[in-house]
Amino acid sequence: MSERYVVAIVGATGAVGQKIAEKLVERNFPYSHLKLLASKRSAGQQLDINGQSYVIEEATPEAFEGVNFAFFSAGGDVSRQLAKEAVARGAVVIDNTSAFRMDPETPLVVPEVNPQALQNHKGIIANPNCSTIQMVCALEPLRQQAGLKKVIVSTYQAVSGSGAAAIEELKKESHQLGIEQPNPQVLPVKSQPKHYPIAGNLLPQIDVFEDNGFTFEEMKMMNETKKIMELPSLAIAATCVRVPVVTGHSESVYLETETELSYEEIIQLLSQADGIVVQDDPANQHYPMPLYAENTDPVFVGRIRKDPNEKTGIHLWIVADNLLKGAALNSIQIAEKMIELNGVSK
């Protein structure tokens, strides 16, 4: 019989944690036992996964005794407090937060792009930011063939990227639209003094502003892309915008390769790449849209155009389910790849 693993989900009651639990079941991940962990507030409550009832436990250092894989999605502070405690007890941690992403000792992995980075882990593997993951999946096949010089990306990010409370805020405001004044409390950033409505609006702020005028979300995209693609000198800039969509992040990406690719070559490279579905048929109005990407695994790429002025310039429209390929699915694919590479023993 193949090996089975004890798996913990930290943040199991959250938007990402719930998707991790669903995907583990759907993909037949070889677990013998699931431990659902969350804050003290939720301890003792019951959660149903695939018809089986689980009691949520408080995430404490001792909760990781006997755990083989621990998926963390409870925010950076919880990861900073508990990830090393889990590793000390023998677990491999796959961390969905930014806590360790830029740590030189921590691999930052998208299995379709840099599985080789898994070879040198020290117990923690970082799952990149959702917007980064879907973009590098589409950039990598083009980079492999023609190199990559420059990337300019604008994102259109769904509210589920900001958690369960932001989804509720969009739903409530959508019902109120044109009837009563909204009273936003969560978006763009819950902990900051000003909140703005998301229904009928766009918020050009995701996460807090840095001194250079970029937001932390934008800096994450820029720095993480360089690390994953091992291109420290890549010219890259991001503008991240929250849009009134529940799930599915979209991105308008302009890139320049080192050598020129024809339209046909771009289509061929993307069509052959793992995890990518090309939807590019303008004559039939066929292009990726977040509504149709929700609850699906691929990264969808469309609106593919050669730049009219720069012969190595390419425009792409990239859409994926931010809670799946952007978080839960990529994390589980990391664990599956580690098992395949024989990187985890019981």
205 binds, among ligand NAP, ligand 3JN, none (CB under 5 to 8 A by kind): none
Which parts of 188-217 interact with ligand 3JN (CB under 6 A)?
Answer: 206, 217
DSSP codes of every residue in 67-103: -SEEEE-S-HHHHHHHHHHHHHTTPEEEE-SSTTTT-
Q: CA end-to-end span of the chain, whole Å?
A: 14
- Which amino acid does the sequence have at 119? Q
137 labelled catalytic: no
Which residues on adjacent β-strands are paired with residue 240?
155
Residue nearest to ligand 3JN (CB): 161
Catalytic one among 121, 137, 240, 249? 249
**Rounded Cα gap, residues 215 and 287, in angstroms:** 29
245 binds, among ligand NAP, ligand 3JN, none (CB under 5 to 8 A by kind): none
Options 31-39, 91-99, 193-201, 230-238: segment touching ligand 3JN (CB under 6 A): 91-99
| Nearer Cβ to ligand 3JN (127/279) | 127
15 binds, among ligand NAP, ligand 3JN, none (CB under 5 to 8 A by kind): ligand NAP
Least separation in angstroms between CB 247 and ligand 3JN: 10
Least separation in angstroms between CB 210 and ligand 3JN: 13
Closest CA to 250 of 307, 182, 299, 315: 299
220 binds, among ligand NAP, ligand 3JN, none (CB under 5 to 8 A by kind): ligand 3JN
Q: Does 225 bind ligand 3JN (CB under 6 A)?
A: no
| Nearer Cβ to ligand 3JN (229/304) | 229
Least separation in angstroms between CB 266 and ligand NAP: 26
Catalytic one among 121, 130, 137, 240? 130
Helices of type H across 275-343: 290-293, 329-340
Residue nearest to ligand NAP (CB): 14
Look up tokens 């291109």; give the residue. 231
- Which amino acid does the sequence have at 154? S
Rg (C-alpha) for the chain, rounded Å, is 20
249 labelled catalytic: yes
**Rounded Cα gap, residues 78 and 42, in angstroms:** 15
Cβ atoms < 10 Å from Cβ of 276: 21
| Nearer Cβ to ligand 3JN (68/96) | 96
> How many CA atoms does the CB half-sphere of 90 hold within 13 Å?
11
Q: Does 98 bind ligand 3JN (CB under 6 A)?
A: yes
Instruction: Classify 256 as helix, strand or coil.
Output: strand
CA 7 from centre of chain: 20
Least separation in angstroms between CB 159 and ligand 3JN: 8
Look up tokens 């492999």; give the residue. 144
225 binds, among ligand 3JN, ligand NAP, none (CB under 5 to 8 A by kind): none
| Nearer Cβ to ligand NAP (78/199) | 78
Strand 5-10 with 276-278, pairing: unpaired
Instruction: For residue 42, give every residue at least 6 positions away whose Cβ sits within 8 Å of its Cβ, in sequence order, or none.
Output: 13, 56
Count of residues binding ligand 3JN (CB under 6 A)? 13
**Rounded Cα gap, residues 72 and 181, in angstroms:** 37
Cβ atoms < 10 Å from Cβ of 263: 12
Using CB under 6 A, list all residues that contact ligand NAP.
Answer: 11-17, 38-39, 41-42, 59, 73-76, 78, 96-97, 127, 129-130, 161, 163-164, 326-327
Please identify every residue annotated as catalytic. Answer: 130, 249
Using CB under 6 A, list all residues that contact ligand 3JN.
Answer: 76, 96-98, 129-130, 157, 161-162, 206, 217, 220, 322
